[in-house]
Amino acid sequence: MQQTAMRNDGFMPESLVTSGVARVRMAVGLLQGMVLYFLYHAAKTNAWPASADLLFSPLLMVSLLAPVILISSLGHLDRKQAAIWLGAVVVVIGLLALHDVWRGGASQGWVWGRRGNGTHPHYPSARLIVFSIAGLYIAHALVLAGVADRRRIAGYPTYFEAAWKLLIQIKFSALFVGALWLVLWLGAALFMLVKLNFLRELLRQSWFVIPVTAFAFSCAMHITDVRPAIVRGIRALLLVLLSWILPITTLLVVGFLLSLPWTGLAPLWATRHATGVLLGAAAVLVVLVNAAFQNGEVASGVARIVRVCARVAALALLPLAAIAIYSLGLRVAEYGWTTDRIIAAACLLIASVYATGYAWAAARSSPWLGPVAQVNVANAFVILAVLLAMFSPIADPARLSVNNQIARLAAGKISVDKFDFDYLRFEGARYGMAALEQLKTRAQGSDAALIRQKAELSLKKKSRWQQEEPPLPRADLVANLAVWPKAAQLPPSFLQEDWKSNKFNWQLPKCLKHENQTCDAYLIDFSGDGKPELLAVGTQAHGGAVLLMEDKDGHWAIAGVLPNDFAGCEPLRQKLQAGSFQLLAPRIPDLDIAGQRIEINNGMTSNSVSCAGHKRERERK
């Protein structure tokens, strides 16, 4: 790889890359797009590697992030340095993604493709994607600066230049890609005016969209790399504007801190999100102080009021962090650790390093906040260490929180009726599932039976919002249903069905799920096979009305849903009870193509009924 040092731009070490490097960068971007399309198509068709859960997520993460690192490294790192750094990125990101899938934290069911067995490929969790991007940004800036200065720990001005250049490159590359697609869709709209839809159809093809997006991003990364003066100008303007927001922010934060002796801390705890707000305020102060500090060599060019406010803001960080720690401590003492609270604690650890370091810098008699540079560099390594620990088995928030919650339950710090079993099921990853399996077999203690019951109910749940009550007892179900005709009896298999665990639970009438909710149950042979189906109609308004059918295995499922206002319509129910009805053939027959039945649903059909006499009766009431 060739590198031509034509001039020292003062932004990065004498690098103006050759056209050869440009071609390599664009080739990498195009190859990345092709690999991402291959993974997309595999996920859509359930082909390899999407069918291999432990392989797909690491491949996707590496394909998303590693090429960007390579593109940015070309022209600044030699071949050996680039190979070592890229290899480290691939190994670390791949292992983190592998752990993410293994622990059960990977998300399922994104926009494309369903597998033949009804499941989805495993994708990286949103947290892993976001924090991996943040961690790689910090690590790559440290590597670029170290290579530029030819030492392991570079000078702070070099770190400053590398980090800001990389940030602006990424932001403007994303903006460039967005502008490109806006122009392409504008062109498609223009062609549509003359009835030519070829471009619109092309822009809907994944084989075109994915490679073009990756290629455009790589081109934008190259352009911003070889035009450092433009990037430097944007950075200078942005930092000046941000530095003048610092006095306003400092005034607000100091005013808030001075008001606390009169208001007390009780209003903060009442909000239940004080820790998050305080962390956000601390993060804003850190950004604005650094906007004024810049590379530490511009003190003479910074307005006096900005310098004073930067010193005051640096001191204000300490009480903000202390109050946030106290707030989190109260929540943990009362409710224990959760994943979110462990992440907040990790953020507070980082904020504490900033707060103590900046307070030390502000307390010194030096004319400018010189030690801020050392604090920033040290905290960059702290952030990387925290991220690696949290997204690996070392300090997995799900594992730590599950262990803490189980310990609280065992120690009697929380009663069984208040313990959140669903947290273990839906936020505890594989550790929570394992804990529930252990609780399901618990044999000791006065509450052992109740713990086993609640653990089993949580394990059966498909979503956090599914009701956790046990199935409606058979006696209550019989009491809820008035069977018609009078001489008929409910099928035994119907009475054995667990309606609360039905995946279409939300469509069922209330009488099948709750006690003291009544329905009429009409046994009518809708299908004409000599075996009656069951039409359940709520007697109360909005009580629900569905047609239920028994399958060959003896399980009942919803065969159709009736208009909601049919339930509670007394005139229609009376005529139905009297047998004053007839079954009609569908207005539009279904299609049979080569033995496959295709149902045609009339989307224009009204989803309501005319309840004769019922409206006037309600008006009289």
> Which one has a higher pLDDT value, 212 or 272?
212
Best CA proximity match to 25, nearest among 69, 90, 59: 69
Question: pLDDT value at position 243?
Answer: 92
pLDDT for 389-417, tens place per residue? 999 999 999 999 999 999 999 888 998 88
Lowest mean pLDDT among 41-50, 305-314, 336-345: 41-50
Question: pLDDT value at position 347?
Answer: 96
- Kindly indicate the confidence band of residue 339, based on its pLDDT and cuts at 50, 70 and 90: very high
CA distance 580 to 591: 31
pLDDT at residue 6 tops 60: no
pLDDT at residue 170 tops 80: yes
CA distance 39 to 67: 15
- Kindly indicate the confidence band of residue 9, based on its pLDDT and cuts at 50, 70 and 90: very low
Residues 63-91, mean pLDDT to the nearest whole number? 95
pLDDT for 518-564, tens place per residue? 999 999 999 888 889 999 998 887 788 899 999 888 888 888 888 87
Question: pLDDT value at position 390?
Answer: 95
Around Cβ 448, how many Cβ atoms within 10 Å?
14
CA distance 527 to 317: 72
CA distance 503 to 466: 10
pLDDT at residue 594 tops 70: yes
> Which one has a higher pLDDT value, 10 or 494?
494
Could you give the residue ranges of the DSSP H alpha helices within 428-569?
429-440, 448-460, 474-480, 492-496
357: tokens are 């370091």
Question: pLDDT value at position 503?
Answer: 64
- Gyration radius (Cα) of the chain, Å: 32
For 468-589, strand residue ranges (E) read 481-484, 519-524, 533-538, 545-550, 556-561
pLDDT at residue 620 tops 70: no
pLDDT at residue 95 tops 50: yes
pLDDT at residue 595 tops 60: yes
pLDDT for 127-143, tens place per residue? 999 999 999 999 999 99
In this structure, are residues 563 and 545 in contact, taking their beta carbons and an 8 Å threshold? yes
Question: pLDDT value at position 469?
Answer: 56
Lowest mean pLDDT among 36-40, 221-225, 479-483, 582-586: 582-586
Question: pLDDT value at position 109?
Answer: 36
In this structure, are residues 275 and 344 in contact, taking their beta carbons and an 8 Å threshold? yes
pLDDT for 347-383, tens place per residue? 999 999 999 999 999 998 777 888 999 999 999 999 9
CA distance 25 to 293: 34
What number of H helices and E strands is found in the chain? 22, 7
Residues 204-217, mean pLDDT to the nearest whole number? 96
Lowest mean pLDDT among 103-112, 188-197, 389-398: 103-112
* Per-position b or e across 500-522, b if 16+ CB within 10 A of its CB: bebeeeeebbbbbbeeebebbbb
Question: pLDDT value at position 607?
Answer: 58
What is the value of pTM for the model shown?
Answer: 0.75
pLDDT for 609-619, tens place per residue? 677 554 444 44
356: tokens are 């103590």
Angle ∠(391,393,394) on CA atoms, nearest 5: 90
Best CA proximity match to 559, nearest among 508, 485, 609, 497: 508
Residues 6+ apart with CB under 8 A from 183: none
pLDDT at residue 76 tops 60: yes
> Which one has a higher pLDDT value, 182 or 470?
182
CA distance 522 to 515: 19
CA distance 149 to 70: 20
Average pLDDT, the chain: 86
Q: Which of 270-274, 473-477, 558-562: highest mean pLDDT?
A: 558-562
Lowest mean pLDDT among 107-116, 117-126, 190-199, 407-416: 107-116
In this structure, are residues 240 and 91 in contact, taking their beta carbons and an 8 Å threshold? no
Residues 422-426, mean pLDDT to the nearest whole number? 91
Question: pLDDT value at position 504?
Answer: 66
pLDDT for 300-319, tens place per residue? 788 899 999 999 999 999 99
